[in-house]
Structure 1
Amino acid sequence: MQLSSLVARLPYPSHAVQRALAVAAIITQGGIGVTGSIVRVTGSGLGCPTWPQCFPGSMTPVEHPEYAMLNQWVEYGNRLLTFVVVAVAAACVVVAWRVFLDHPGRTRLLALAWVMPAGVVVQALIGGITVMTHLLWWTVAIHFLASTILVWLAVLLHRAFTEGDEPPRPRVPTRSRPVLGALVAALAGTL
């Protein structure tokens, strides 16, 4: 049986469910960024010195003379949150797919939903590289920037869930668009 036909059998998600999942995507993507920052601030980035295992032969923290247990658990907690992010991302894909099946014009919604799990995979790979390079500053910076981009895309996903099927219409007045563009450029430069 085709996966599309299984998704089509699901009940059509209410607008409340769609919005709740989109908000959950924003919260989990932002949350993983915050916990990643806590890892960095506490110096816990090598609390689990290998990837994907915490220590060779163990997925979880173990007593080790070189690594404080607090640092291990901070890093391990950040890694565990990834599973929540994956679950929310997967739910976003299923719900967006279900909406798309009834409204084939909603390709933007489906594409943004698929970015969420793809982003998790990319972030896991970047995180692995970051650990394997012993936290080289530029790998940490890329890891953080990827998180900020995923939060932004989660906000766009929220917007896509609430758009409806009508043709798009500009909401920012024409005279304000250059200011908005300058703000976006300034934020990108800051990041």
Structure 2
Amino acid sequence: MPNTLNPLALIARHWQPSAKFVERAALASVVMAVVIVVTGGAVRLTESGLGCPTWPTCTAQSLTPTPAMGINGVIEFTNRMLTYVCCAVVGLAIIAARSRSPWRRDLTRFGWAQFWVVMGNAVLGGIVVLTGLNPYLVGSHFLLAAALLTVALLMWQRTREGSGAARDLVVRPVRQLAWVLVAAATALIVIGTVVTGAGPHAGDARHVARIPVDWREITQLHVDFVYIVIGLTVALWFVLRAVDGPGAARRRVVELFVVLMAQGVIGYVQYFTHLPVFVVGLHMFGACLVWIAVLRVPLALRERPYRAQDGEEAGQAAAIPAQDPAVTAATV
């Protein structure tokens, strides 16, 4: 039989994880994606970007850092090793999703998408080292990590809902406003990446090329987009109130507002205290939380019902009637 040659199918024959286990495995991938962003930031902020001056080995003669390389070599090499940890976590999510009966292909596809993003970013990270921390490649390295976080979050979301076609819970103009919010947040993160590429924390104590713009001017543009995102968040909350939108969606908007306020405070503190390393690292962590909170808003504006083939989850959800989008539309 063809399946006997498939290791994942063989595992599925002998292991049937619960729906909760699959959900937790997907959540672990989200957490690991955040860890990768934060530890990557730590490499840059501790000037360890070239702690291992070559790739894929640490030096031309050694796979691992040597004592002469000091703490910077250890930090850079440790960050490289986290790629394997990330692969293991993503691999567990893939295996759990594949072994779950009934098998949901949408979940395994999200898992494999994460795997290939991790592999691609690992190669890009090596190119970053070989090019002496080219700021454009460093920025791309971060943005690809944000893409990993996006896919991981989508997989986690899908583990908590059915495999049926998405049903909108609000009318189209409300959904469009939510996607404008996502677009503005995307621009905010990209501009923040340019600030990083032009700013003083280059990733190494030696001279490293920077993006040739005034980082203070780009910071002002970054702040302008912060206000745009906050304004869109507040506007979306009022709109959801006006159309009697889903309570979950309104809660997600409130959560986003709180995260934005906290991130704004951190941003101002780091600017007026001349970019201390710890505060900048905290700001990177906050950027992950902002992006997660932003993505959860449009995801709360639709639902995916359970189908009979989804198994026990379908029976558990049957007692909870789905909100009729026609009722929501009638309130506009």
* TM-score higher than 0.5: yes
Q: What residue number does 2:94 align with?
A: 93
Per-residue CA deviation, residues 86-122 of structure 1 (Å, 9 max, x unaligned), is 10111111112223x624xx33212101012111110
| Structure 1 alignment gaps of length 5 or more | none
Q: What residue number does 1:111 align with?
A: 109
From 17, 35, 42, the equivalent of 1:38 is: 42
> Hey, what's the Cα distance between the residues in 2 that align with 1:41 and 1:171?
43
> Hey, what's the Cα distance between the residues in 1 that align with 2:40 and 2:144?
12
Deviation at 1:77, TM superposition (A): 1.3
> Hey, what's the Cα distance between the residues in 2 that align with 1:62 and 1:187?
42
Residue identity (%) = 35
Q: What residue number does 1:56 align with?
A: 60
From 19, 27, 30, the equivalent of 2:31 is: 27
> Hey, what's the Cα distance between the residues in 2 that align with 1:11 and 1:173?
42
What's the RMSD between the two structures over aligned residues?
Answer: 1.7
Deviation at 1:167, TM superposition (A): 3.7
Deviation at 1:171, TM superposition (A): 4.3
Deviation at 1:132, TM superposition (A): 0.4
Deviation at 1:145, TM superposition (A): 0.3
> Hey, what's the Cα distance between the residues in 2 that align with 1:172 and 1:96?
30
Deviation at 1:172, TM superposition (A): 5.1
Deviation at 1:159, TM superposition (A): 0.9
| Structure 2 alignment gaps of length 5 or more | 191-332
Give the count of matched residue pairs: 185
Task: Tell me if structure 1 keeps the 8 A contact 2:36–2:82.
Answer: yes
Deviation at 1:71, TM superposition (A): 1.0
Q: Which of the pair has the greater relative contact order for Cα pairs under 8 Å at 6+ separation?
A: 1
Trace 1:74-153 onto structure 2 (pairs within 5 A): 74-99=75-100, 102-103=102-103, 106-153=104-151
> Hey, what's the Cα distance between the residues in 2 that align with 1:18 and 1:95?
5
Q: What SS does structure 1 have at the residue aligned with 2:168? A: coil
Q: What residue number does 2:289 align with?
A: none
Deviation at 1:27, TM superposition (A): 0.8
